[in-house]
Chains A and B, each alone.
Chain A
Amino acid sequence: MKKYLALLVLVGLWMAGAASADEHDVRFAAVDIYLDSAEPVAAWQFELSDRDGLMKVVGVEQGESPAFKRVPYYDREAVRLGEADRIIVADYSLAAVDELPSGRARIATIHLMLSGDDDADFNLQLVTATTHDGVVTDARLSHVVRTGSEQ
């Protein structure tokens, strides 16, 4: 009987240790998304995912352009429920052409929770970028990852 009790205690300790190790594997990062366009951009939409499925989106922040003042559009319900393992973010502006961003500008920052020890392999795709008159413009996306604290 004592043998079984000791075994039970050992299994319990091992499970507690494993759960604790899992919690320590979670870390946070912020991904700054930059759009580079020769022409002023009035609307943009992109998709961010992780090829290894390590990420969960926990928040979205607006960029630096005064023409895009508010938080961009994204699936808020999926983020709230912690189900956003990929995200589509978009925004538009009715500002005058000379107020719209051109060149390289940060359009959004995505806050992520990452699991596992490996670096995330992000897949960032531009869905569309258009000028004020709705014409699709040639633009490129890039991102910078800022890692946060480990938990």
Chain B
Amino acid sequence: MAREQFADRKAAWRRPAWAAIAATVLLAVVIGQPQFQRSSMPVMSPRPPDISDVLKLARERAGESGAQAEIDALALQVVSLAARGES
């Protein structure tokens, strides 16, 4: 009788344990995907953006239609946020 109860309890513990292992493996597989790799994430600049970042963008997008408005907006954002101490 005692042996049967022990077997039942053992079986009851085994199911969640296997579920936890399966979930961990699944999570590891998902995190291992390239889109979740740290190297593929945009690299955050350690310093606040300044006009040199705007110059770089302006060089990259020189000649593109509509780019100037975006570059102007970024430049204004850089100086405004810096002036308000928010960058």
Contact = CB atoms under 8 A, between A and B. Distances in A.
Interface in B50-68: 50-52, 54-56, 58-59, 62
Nearest to A74: B79
Interface of A: 42-45, 47, 73-78, 84, 86-92, 94, 127-128, 130, 134, 136
Interface of B: 50-52, 54-56, 58-59, 62, 72, 75-76, 78-80, 82-84
Given A92-B75, A128-B50, A134 B80 contact: no
Interface SS majority for chain B: helix
Contacts of B75: 73, 90, 92
A127 B51 CA distance: 9
Given A73-B75, A128-B52, A94 B59 contact: yes
Contact of B83 (A43, A84, A128, A136): A84
A88 B86 CA distance: 13
Contacts of A127: 50-51, 82
Contacts of B50: 45, 90, 127-128
